[in-house]
Chain A
């Protein structure tokens, strides 16, 4: 009997266990994944100068009276904090501080580092409260998942937020607007000069050459380096070129402006059709240039399979003479490279080991070669159509968009996470010093625009300004250096409509990428380029051209 009783108890507890496991719905959407999990018993003084008692009262009042909004913080910023969210107590203080400031309670959900999109899909599907998040507004607006924010942007409080992105600054609102004039989100990314060609200053000096002004100058330098092999044992890499699924992407971004006119999709006057960039004559010349570099050993034989980890290892080792890739591959490896190139004293020289032509390299067509990125980004901060307090969300965003508030929610309270370097004399750019050893205290961030990050000045232990930081402050928006894309950026392309009209676009792109690889590595002759174009048409490129033309014309008509 005793055994039976024990067995009954075990069986019952297993059933209860599994049932409760199945049904353990989480009424607090932030619990488990959020910086908000846990409650504060903190007795310190809050940033607003109140005691813990006041803080508790505020929270209590907030729970009763003030709107609560839930922010899915999938900006990616947490990656800079190794995926670690804020200490719950600190988060609680921040939450109370925001309540004091604007009367809104903000719950933040920190997404899993590698599966932010999947988690977002589940949250949206699951019906949990989720009021605003980052993403491509074109993925959501047609299905009624988000609301237009035109009316909220007209409020006087939104003036500074609106001006941050107006056409005199980053021209962001156009990219957020559909053909009916609805604005579906707050822009996230501003145009960036992010694909500079970096050249080693010390090796220019070694060769007695000046900083290259043109592609011809650059080639002279690259081939001279190849012959000289300053690193030794034939291990010098004259040019690190960004690889990837499309082996031409890095070349197009770093050199495309010198070969293509316009950059991106273009209108063929001959037939009035909008066509992809690789149907321009200049594109073939650019592929041929990369092929030549590959054949001559100027670029690494495995460059097509490289990623930022591999590129950064190569650059840090000191083997690389020049780079044609995303800027931070160089800027964030500078400190490591300096350790490997002790002869170059940054303080004494007044420049880093890698330098660039700030006027921009000139290509064969006489134009600047670097192409800016993000100019057509439809990434936005969007408000859910299920949001009960959109005005509270806007109030919070407007508040968080102010410099001091933005830095505070990201790095912690003034005097704890940061302090002004020279508050009295701060004008357009507020320079602050970071007080803790973390990149981010990390309660949340807004990342609008990238220049926000540039308002922080970081230094190496040597006292020299961090190269990455200097880039963000001075060179990220150095728009005199490169070329804009034409209507590729102006038209808010509808990728869903494109996918319907041209279902095999993915196959065409895969084929294109494979053929580019073959042209470059010499397994396909450049003489068959026209045949390659014909093959693309045979696969259905016409449908892509027709749909691009239709969307372009719709955009023209709506202007």
Chain B
């Protein structure tokens, strides 16, 4: 009998141990990630949370009412623009920096110093948004803030940065980079550890300096990971978190700070309007998947790794 024509059952039986070990993972994804997707239908219904599971199916269909409300909001354009701009700025300035940090950390010879740098750079990741915002306030406040202290020391007039719409994105993006740069560099450091050491030795013999080795060996070696990370990050362009913005913004800065997630918080979550929140979430996901597919296609066309 031809091996290739053996039945599925044969393979299931033959590799049963592997399949059994796979089962918990499969069940996890099925139960916690795929089954809850049924809940998406509440985006097309008027659902209240205390109606429970039954209410998901028995609540009244309202068609595109919640999508309509979102798209017809006079702030829809502004929300989209603010969300995209904050994300794109974050991507442009925040994406390369962990790679650069990882490249430099990778070149450190002293293991103790390397670990110290890594630990210090990871720490901000573990701070809650409340703490981070407290630190930001202490730095940029017009009332005794560090930056304004310097401005005043040089005879300048304090600038209320947090009340100025034109400063909001800068503050948000810079603080985000500070908080995430170390943590995001881990994946690149892990990828770098997989690069064949002999390549570096050969480059040294050929007279390649530190920067040439970083460029031609290290960066080339992690290019597939960078490519995948970029594609995945592009998929999250509309997913700007609300917590830090809620703590930072005020009516004076809505024009640049109000994003989709803060709008959903005000309109949906405070009033427990889960249908509206789900509708906006579904819209975000659809845009996200289009972005992922698009960037994945472009990455592959450019000869880089895609996510599949």
Contacts and interface: CB of A to CB of B under 8 A. Distances in A.
Interface in B259-308: 266-267, 271-272
A120 B266 CA distance: 19
Interface residues of A, number: 49
Given A507-B74, A521-B252, A302 B20 contact: no
Nearest to A117: B272
- Kindly state the interface size class of chain B when it binds its partner: 35 or more
A506 B163 contact: no
Interface stretch (A8-16, A103-111, A455-463): A8-16
A145 B53 CA distance: 15
B64 interface: no
A15 B20 contact: yes
B74 A511 contact: yes
A126 B17 contact: no
A503 B69 contact: yes
Contacts of B272: 117, 121, 139
Contacts of A126: 52
A513 B251 contact: yes
A304 B141 contact: no
B143 A246 contact: no
B266 A510 contact: yes
Contact of A125 (B20, B53, B73, B248): B53
Contact of A504 (B20, B55, B74, B252): B74
B138 to A, nearest CB: 11
A539 B23 CA distance: 55
Contact of B251 (A18, A145, A304, A539): A304
B50 A301 contact: no
A124 B52 contact: yes
A510 B20 contact: no
A14 to B, nearest CB: 4
A223 B196 CA distance: 73
A4 B141 contact: no
A212 interface: no
A22 interface: yes
Given A125-B52, A539-B74, A304 B252 contact: yes
Nearest to A511: B74
Contacts of B250: 243, 247, 304-305, 517
Interface stretch (B24-32, B103-111, B116-124, B172-180): B24-32
Summarize A's interface: helix, strand, loop or mixed. helix
Contacts of A8: 17, 20
Interface in A14-40: 14-15, 17-19, 22
Interface in B5-26: 17, 20-21, 23-24
Interface in B63-79: 69, 72-75
Nearest to A142: B48
A8 to B, nearest CB: 6
A358 interface: no
A17 B50 contact: no
Contacts of B238: none
A231 interface: no
Given A117-B272, A301-B142, A125 B24 contact: no
Contact of B27 (A18, A139, A510, A513): A18
B51 A18 contact: no
A11 B142 contact: no
B24 A143 contact: no
A30 B271 CA distance: 26
Interface string A234-276: 0000000001011100000000000000000000000000000
Nearest to A125: B52
Contacts of A7: 17, 21
Interface in A267-317: 300-302, 304-305, 310
B17 A4 contact: yes
Nearest to A140: B50
Contact of B162 (A15, A305, A521): A305
Interface of B: 17, 20-21, 23-24, 27-28, 31, 48-53, 55, 69, 72-75, 137, 141-143, 160, 162-163, 248-252, 254-255, 258, 266-267, 271-272
Interface of A: 4, 7-8, 10-12, 14-15, 17-19, 22, 117, 120-122, 124-127, 139-140, 143, 145, 243, 245-247, 300-302, 304-305, 310, 495, 499, 503-504, 506-507, 510-511, 513-514, 516-518, 521, 539
Given A19-B27, A125-B49, A511-B74, 8 more contacts: A17-B24, A125-B50, A301-B143, A302-B162, A304-B252, A310-B137, A504-B72, A514-B255
14 contacts: A8-B17, A10-B21, A15-B27, A18-B24, A121-B50, A125-B50, A143-B51, A247-B250, A247-B251, A301-B143, A305-B162, A305-B250, A514-B255, A517-B252
